[in-house]
Structure 1
Amino acid sequence: MSDNLIYVMPVKGDEEWDQELACLGHSIFSSLRYTWSGASKDGEFFVLRNVSTAHPLIFFRIYSYRIEILQLCSKFSSSDIHIVCQHIFNMFGQIRCIGFDCVESDREEIGFVAQRYNVSEDFVIDLCGSVARYTSMLGRQLQHDLKRYKKKLSTASSDVRYACFSGQDVAEAVFNEIIGLSASRMAGKEVASSHTLEKSRRLFDLVKNFGFLSVIYVDGIVRAGVICTRYGTEMFMHVVAHDTGFDRFRLGKLACYFSICAAIESGVLRYHLLSGWYDYKLRFLGKPVEFDRVEVYRSAGAVFFCLRRYLAIFYRGNGRRVKRYLKLRGSGLPGRSTQGPGVLPFLGRMVGPVRWLWRGG
């Protein structure tokens, strides 16, 4: 095989790879620490070096006839995807399709048979070097609200403390308290919390290596907090939570603002509010970035070989499009998925044949 192909063992060299990826400006979701924490370790993991100038390192995993690129939430132009796929198809003759999950990409032709649909989004704040300048860029109403509720909180209690913890200084007890606040808030809305034991364990593993927690204590008790990870000059907000008994102080909003200010002071250049279409993310100057799933096939014959997968992706993609259309319709929030799902009649005609194929004919 080519000299720029390196076999990767799951345990060795994680720190070195992650330092290099962080310097290249990749997402925390591209880190090996994130990949190993959620993946079974019995597969074959590889690194490609120097395939393209935009992506000097490409991590991927082989599953029989297909390959999955592991750089989640990274930016791949259509030309980057073409170069990477051409290289991999030339090296691995048995590979029929290559998946890029959750990547920021344009909508240009790739040069191969491909499927593409939206899977997630992020709201990214470009930080401007100083807290005062960032604050001045916020809307007047938000600036007024932040001052008002901070003063209201300090009036209600003489013991209000803002604190930050990073990396190994993050106490698991504080982490669990913030997760507990989030779960309690969801329970009050009669919504199941997304923070399962497994997901919390995985997040804490990331936090111990890349974590940044900002916490608001009132009378010595954690009443609000934000759980972030820092990767190079990028910071990612995974959880923001507050005690619902303090709703009148808008602690969630204060905690978010305090976390962004702490990120600016620590030299972070971009703050990621991650997925979820909420108005407060726009008010804090988050700019929406859309992420797609891109499935690339070697040829039309490869599509026939992978027909079940192709149809499953087709339905999943259009289902996501319909769901997003219904959610964003009339909300006033930006997003390219707000246009109507014109493929619905075609989907209806496809239901019967696809069910037949899916069940084995």
Structure 2
Amino acid sequence: MESGNTTISLYENAVPSFVEPQLDALYGHVFSSLAQFRVYDGIDGNTHTYVAQSGSAASAILLFKVSDKHLHVLNEQIAMEPAEINRFARYAFSTWPNVDVIRFPAILADGSALAFPHQQFYRTEDIVLTLPPTPEDYLNALGKATRKNFKYHGNRLKRNFPTLKFDVWIDGAIPESHVRDIIELNRARMATKNKESEIDAEETHRLTRLVQQAGLVSTMILDGRVVAGTVCSRVGQNYFMHINAHDPAYDDARLGKLCCYMTICDCIERGGKEFHFMWGRFEYKYLLLGVQRDYDELTVYRSHARMLLHGASAFRIAYSGYSREWKFRLLDLANKPDESSLLLRTAARSLNFVRHLKQSGLRGAVMRH
């Protein structure tokens, strides 16, 4: 089928193998890669593939599933022009007359230019560092205080722990034991903050499979034991940090930040283009020059009438979206002591308190009952 100068192809209940490299080249994100979908069971016999081709290059490749009146796009953390979204929506609504709703779980898009009624709310962030040509360029770009701290703690490590060794493994050479060791360090680190890790045995196995297909794992080893490490997947020349952890016993040595910095330098030396710190608004990611990209949940409706027909669902989406946006606005304000509004700062601190209470006391009460 042709739409203007664009040719559209649909592969029903199939994901052709040729789209894998094109997906990686077009979106360059692990959450829109076949490797991620395969490892996390995201695709099956009910998965369709939409390909929009402009000349020799694909302008959109979307994997999706259709269930009753809903179409759910699997690609996450992608950027799409409004014209591409409109083209896909028109094609989908025409091909599946029963579908009323199309959902993009995490997309960077200008919703104001969409031709269909829609809802758009903040969903998640990805903090991204555009990698410079050399590690020296990267070091020089860091803030003066950050450079000074890295130099101080690096020299201190060499003096206090002369046998400390930094190693890097890639793809199939990555030892599963190192991934497990780094995950255990993450558990220990979270335990010091009275938090529980969400990485269980199944997630450990899946993450290991993912990075062994295409990834990079770095470790700091002292006396034969992993004391810090970073676990990254890779899509093309883009690296995605899933875990960065260190032994809490070495907090004063700044092992976690140093390991992350050295990992970034290794990615630069390998010709990397982007280093994705992923979600989590931690200060060190910004100190290491990460820039936040916000992605929205976008829900597109066939018409205003169909949107009203799904009024209850639309209300839940709006409630969840506004709640999520205010939550992160307040959390951001809590970290800005120069804000003039005492009311907002108090609300933000209250939200932090409630969240901590939920993670500690309330969780314990639930477990006891």
Fold match (TM-score > 0.5): yes
Select between 159-168 and 53-62 the one with higher mean Cα deviation.
53-62
Contact kept in structure 2, 1:223 and 1:242, CA below 8 Å: yes
How much is the aligned-residue C-alpha RMSD, in angstroms? 2.0
Give 2:132's aligned residue: 128
1:6 to 11, 26, 31: 11
**So what's the TM-score if we normalise by structure 1?**
0.86
Give 2:265's aligned residue: 261
Partner Cα separation in structure 1 for residue 44 and residue 63 of structure 2: 16
Give 1:344's aligned residue: none
Give 1:37's aligned residue: 39
Give 2:245's aligned residue: 241
CA shift digits 1:121-175 (9 cap, x unpaired): 0111111110001110000111111111111111112211111111110111110
Give 2:255's aligned residue: 251
1:165 to 163, 169, 190: 169
Contact kept in structure 2, 1:51 and 1:84, CA below 8 Å: no
Give 1:59's aligned residue: 63
1:149 to 153, 173, 198: 153
Instruction: Map 1:21-32 to 2 at 5 A.
Output: 21-32=23-34
Give 1:88's aligned residue: 92
Contact kept in structure 1, 2:37 and 2:43, CA below 8 Å: no
Structure 1: where are the runs of 5+ without partners?
A: 334-339, 341-361
Give 2:327's aligned residue: 323
User: Which stretches of structure 1, 4 residues or more, deviate above 6 A after TM superposition?
Assistant: none
Give 1:181's aligned residue: 185
Contact kept in structure 2, 1:157 and 1:219, CA below 8 Å: no
Contact kept in structure 2, 1:43 and 1:62, CA below 8 Å: no
Aligned AA (2:95): M
Aligned-pair CA distance for 1:31 = 1.1
Contact kept in structure 2, 1:51 and 1:83, CA below 8 Å: no
Q: 1:9 to 1:109 in 2, by over 3 A?
A: closer
Contact kept in structure 2, 1:159 and 1:220, CA below 8 Å: no
Partner Cα separation in structure 2 for residue 203 and residue 17 of structure 1: 23
1:297 to 284, 292, 301: 301
Aligned AA (1:136): N
Other structure's SS at 2:104 match? strand
Other structure's SS at 1:50 match? strand
Q: 1:311 to 1:297 in 2, by over 3 A?
A: same
Select between 39-48 and 225-234 the one with higher mean Cα deviation.
39-48
CA shift digits 1:263-320 (9 cap, x unpaired): 1011110111111111111111111100100000001121133223212111110110
**So what's the TM-score if we normalise by structure 2?**
0.85
Aligned-pair CA distance for 1:8 = 4.5
Partner Cα separation in structure 1 for residue 311 and residue 39 of structure 2: 31
CA shift digits 1:186-213 (9 cap, x unpaired): 0111111121223223222211212210
Partner Cα separation in structure 2 for residue 182 and residue 224 of structure 1: 9
Q: 1:175 to 1:5 in 2, by over 3 A?
A: same
Other structure's SS at 2:278 match? coil
Q: 1:71 to 1:55 in 2, by over 3 A?
A: farther
Contact kept in structure 2, 1:122 and 1:274, CA below 8 Å: yes
Structure 2: where are the runs of 5+ without partners?
A: 3-7, 338-343, 345-369
Whether 2:347 is the aligned partner of 1:313: answer no
Give 1:280's aligned residue: 284
Select between 269-278 and 53-62 the one with higher mean Cα deviation.
53-62
Give 2:365's aligned residue: none
Partner Cα separation in structure 2 for residue 61 and residue 154 of structure 1: 54
Give 2:364's aligned residue: none
Partner Cα separation in structure 2 for residue 40 and residue 261 of structure 1: 32
Partner Cα separation in structure 1 for residue 179 and residue 75 of structure 2: 27
Aligned residues: 331
CA shift digits 1:193-241 (9 cap, x unpaired): 1212232232222112122101111222111000001101211111000
Identity of aligned residues (%): 27
